[in-house]
């Protein structure tokens, strides 16, 4: 295990150095309909389901295409996450065989002419329909998650599969905050659309914890035969400075994660991580290495990578 994470630590250091030392070539021509560099490409895709335009950035492994195609990790908040994810995927991919991984293709979903986050568009795209009361008190318009899912499933995925060879049996979805909310909403509403899910710091508070009700409905469904992997992560320092923790909210969130743990089987693998000293924003970047490993791990190696090591009794 220590060997695995030593390799990962080196990958993270390399990725951070690379991200800070090199400009992002694909963003230089952001207004072009298509740009391409070695192993990277970007293009604009307009959706008929959301009426938004999306900046799609793709990073491919620098290896021969596997017979079954590349595992793919779809990233939300692509403007903010692509550079880091692409560099981590490249570095981790260099030691993939030692970790029991297949190198991963990264597909980031962002918005044109944004450097990090498009607050209004992501608020609409990543959130499920809300109660009238919650929307009336909100700063932004919510409720476009189902239309955004249609964009991914019916417009983006076919476009990606026309450009690269995809392993359609190993597709993953990563989201942070509202993006993590979207990941969980997708599990409950369209669980067959991806095989692996990573929700970092999901906004469980949204619409008075309505997602907890969605989870109960999902738990009561009998058909959970399709293999699925889920990972959730939260930073230990996500509470605002000097803010008093809401004990009732903490209990709801703890109950939510515990419900997943109780459902673990060979068909449903679940991991939950608490990242020390990470704030809400920084937890997105702290979660990317695990997301890339989960997207690429061969089924027999996933548990070795993420399960707690068994303590040996030396007595």
Q: What's the first-to-final CA gap in the chain, in angstroms?
A: 22
CB 54 within 8 A of CB 109: yes
- Both structure tokens of 42: 């970007």
pLDDT at 11 (0 to 100):
46
Higher pLDDT, 216 or 95: 216
- Binning the chain into helix, strand and coil, the percentages to the nearest 5 are 45, 20, 35
- Both structure tokens of 60: 């491919």
**Exposure b/e, 27-42, CB count within 10 A at least 16 = b:** beebeeeebeeeebbb
pLDDT at 251 (0 to 100):
93
Average pLDDT over residues 101-123: 94
What are the structural domains, with CATH classification, of the chain? 2-306 (3.40.50.1820)
Give pLDDT tens digits for 253-306: 999 999 999 999 989 999 999 999 999 999 999 999 999 999 999 888 999 999
Q: Are strands 228-235 and 268-275 parallel, antiparallel or unpaired?
A: parallel
- Both structure tokens of 180: 């993590």
CB 291 within 8 A of CB 251: no
Name which of 41-45, 66-70, 168-172, 246-250 the model is least confident about.
246-250
pLDDT at 226 (0 to 100):
82
Give pLDDT tens digits for 216-242: 999 888 566 689 999 999 999 997 555
CB 230 within 8 A of CB 267: no
pLDDT at 314 over 90: no
Query: Is residue 29 very low, low, confident or very high in pLDDT (cuts 50, 70, 90)?
Result: very low
Three-state secondary-structure class, residue 254 = helix
Residue 138 CB coordination number (10 Å): 15
pLDDT at 239 (0 to 100):
76
């Amino acid at each position: 295990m220590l060997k695995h994470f030593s390799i990962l630590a080196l990958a993270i250091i390399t990725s951070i150095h690379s991200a800070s030392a090199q400009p992002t070539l694909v963003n230089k021509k952001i207004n072009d309909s298509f740009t391409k560099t070695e192993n990277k490409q970007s293009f604009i895709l307009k959706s008929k389901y959301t009426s938004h335009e999306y900046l799609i950035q793709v990073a491919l492994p620098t290896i021969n295409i596997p017979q079954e195609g590349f595992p793919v990790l779809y990233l939300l908040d692509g403007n903010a996450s692509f550079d880091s994810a692409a560099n981590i995927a490249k570095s981790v991919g260099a030691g993939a065989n030692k970790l029991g991984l297949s190198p991963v293709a990264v597909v980031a979903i962002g918005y044109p002419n944004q450097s990090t986050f498009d607050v209004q568009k992501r608020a609409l795209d990543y959130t499920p329909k809300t109660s009238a009361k919650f929307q009336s008190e909100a700063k932004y318009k919510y409720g476009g998650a189902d239309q955004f899912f249609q964009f991914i499933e019916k417009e983006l995925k076919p476009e990606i599969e026309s450009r690269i060879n995809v392993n359609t049996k190993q597709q993953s979805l990563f989201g942070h905050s509202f993006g993590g909310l979207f990941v969980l909403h997708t599990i409950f509403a369209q669980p067959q659309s991806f095989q692996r899910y990573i929700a970092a710091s999901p906004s469980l508070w949204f619409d008075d914890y309505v997602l907890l009700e969605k989870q109960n409905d999902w738990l009561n469904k009998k058909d959970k035969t399709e293999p699925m992997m889920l990972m959730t992560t939260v930073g230990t320092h996500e509470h605002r400075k000097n803010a008093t923790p809401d004990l009732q909210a903490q209990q709801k969130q703890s109950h939510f994660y515990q419900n997943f743990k109780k459902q673990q089987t060979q068909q449903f693998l679940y991991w939950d991580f608490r990242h020390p000293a990470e704030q809400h924003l920084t937890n997105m970047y702290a979660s990317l290495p695990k997301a890339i490993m989960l997207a690429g791990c061969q089924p027999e190696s996933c548990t070795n990578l993420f399960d707690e090591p068994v303590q040996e009794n030396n007595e």
